[in-house]
Structure 1
């Protein structure tokens, strides 16, 4: 099939390649593999060259890329043993409340064994993705995904994440047929271009105002108080609304339950009362998706 104008700008092969990328982005909510593959296919693209040049301005990021430093694996029990309110404790508690595997991210072999700088950049982005959720406050589901990825788009123009933002706007715009203020549920509103634009804008602004996050030594920061770390990194985290993990009742039950249990244990030790036993909480089952929690 020919086009009146596109044929002047790109070859049929390039147009077909774009449609394949668009298909992967559209399937990002079904499987994280689609998102990983999307970024892998863009590793030799012009947008990736832009990404590399922006990261090269940061000496710490450049050293990290050259060293090919790996992330994890993380010990959930050890992280949960860290002080309540710390980055590591919150990271393990939040993912545990959702039933997510804390070490679910691609092996280096998926990204060409990190042969090129672009391969390592892709690896690093997805290996630290959920830590970005914890740090920024954006929820780990359909509501917060566009916000958290837009932080990285603002800071270093990651091509896979930027493409996901663009496709979310485009595909949601195509199917919008009702004003957002007439939609009754958050789930319905999350599938509109207006909602996508709002979260993308919020993430871009957060990323522009924050200190560089790509090269953060996460393993060395796990014991740090999360609120203090956010302040140090100039991150005004999302703490309310359906696109914040702080608003998730399952997460709140876990975090508040820990505090209640500790208070109850202290009272019991003093001999005043016995704490009420905590109810068991069944975590949601999860598929193989990680970044693929949202759908466009």
Structure 2
């Protein structure tokens, strides 16, 4: 019997509405991680990022407020201020040494750029949209997300109130629509977002193949149980961002 491909494994998990926690043992096997490494290195731009261990600091949101309205950086700055967020929220350690595999490096990129992905995909910080954005990331790099979840699960801070909705997503079901958005936008894994803050957001979304969210989901309002702050939605039809 042949081993299912990484793509098939991911789609099978989505089709049976597996929880995010259930992806960990399926996608953490050595042969799956090897398939993930190969898949990531085929993404345009990613091989060079991995070879360089590209890792400049993300610009501080406060330093981006003067960028043109509608740019990635301007929207990112307003988003972070709206939700009172700071970079490097998630509690995992980066592995960027010379022995970091492509999948391990992807975990670092997914972690570091998490709020950038929220902005690109029009995802709020609500508990519901955290599941949605993780499903989007699962479409981008399923084994890397599973590795991230496995590492976060054993971090001592995961049980604190600050990370409640991160802890809760392990029992949440993968969302098929957001998974498919991620599959279509896989090229964003090869992007250097730290250098793209002046780019128009709508142009980046189009170039990266990020489809618009369903109108009924855009601006989804709900509780944000992480970090103890809940706000009205940032992405609404009126803001058109």
- The interval holding the TM-score normalised by the smaller chain is 0.5 to 0.7
Deviation at 1:83, TM superposition (A): 1.1
Deviation at 1:127, TM superposition (A): 0.7
Aligned pair partner of 1:222 in 197, 201, 211: 197
| 1:82 matched residue in structure 2 | 67
Provide Cα deviations, 1:99-143, integer angstroms capped at 9, x if missing partner. 110343568x64374632243222111011111111011222311
Q: Within the alignment, does 1:151 sit opposite 2:131 as a pair?
A: no
Q: Is 2:79–2:234's contact at 8 Å kept on the other side of the alignment?
A: yes
| 2:86 matched residue in structure 1 | 101
Please show how residues 194-205 of structure 1 align to structure 2 within 5 Å. Answer: 196-197=173-174, 200-205=175-180
TM-score (norm 2): 0.64
Cα distance, 1:78–1:112 mapped onto 2, change above 3 Å: closer
Please show how residues 28-177 of structure 1 align to structure 2 within 5 Å. Answer: 42=28, 45-104=30-89, 110-111=94-95, 113=97, 115-117=99-101, 118-161=103-146
Q: What SS is found at the alignment partner of 2:128?
A: coil
Distance in structure 2 (CA, Å) of the matches to 1:87 and 1:74: 12
| 2:7 matched residue in structure 1 | none
Unmatched segments (≥5 aa) in structure 1: 1-23, 27-37, 165-189, 257-296
Distance in structure 2 (CA, Å) of the matches to 1:216 and 1:79: 19
Q: Is 2:220–2:233's contact at 8 Å kept on the other side of the alignment?
A: no
Deviation at 1:250, TM superposition (A): 5.5
Cα distance, 1:241–1:80 mapped onto 2, change above 3 Å: farther
TM-score (norm 1): 0.53
Q: What SS is found at the alignment partner of 2:187?
A: coil
Cα distance, 1:47–1:67 mapped onto 2, change above 3 Å: same
Distance in structure 2 (CA, Å) of the matches to 1:246 and 1:220: 31
Q: What SS is found at the alignment partner of 2:199?
A: coil
Distance in structure 1 (CA, Å) of the matches to 2:192 and 2:118: 16
Q: What SS is found at the alignment partner of 1:69?
A: coil
Q: Is 2:95–2:108's contact at 8 Å kept on the other side of the alignment?
A: yes
Aligned length: 189
Q: What SS is found at the alignment partner of 1:80?
A: coil
| RMSD (Å), alpha carbons | 3.7
Cα distance, 1:71–1:146 mapped onto 2, change above 3 Å: farther
Distance in structure 2 (CA, Å) of the matches to 1:208 and 1:252: 22
Structure label with greater radius of gyration? 1
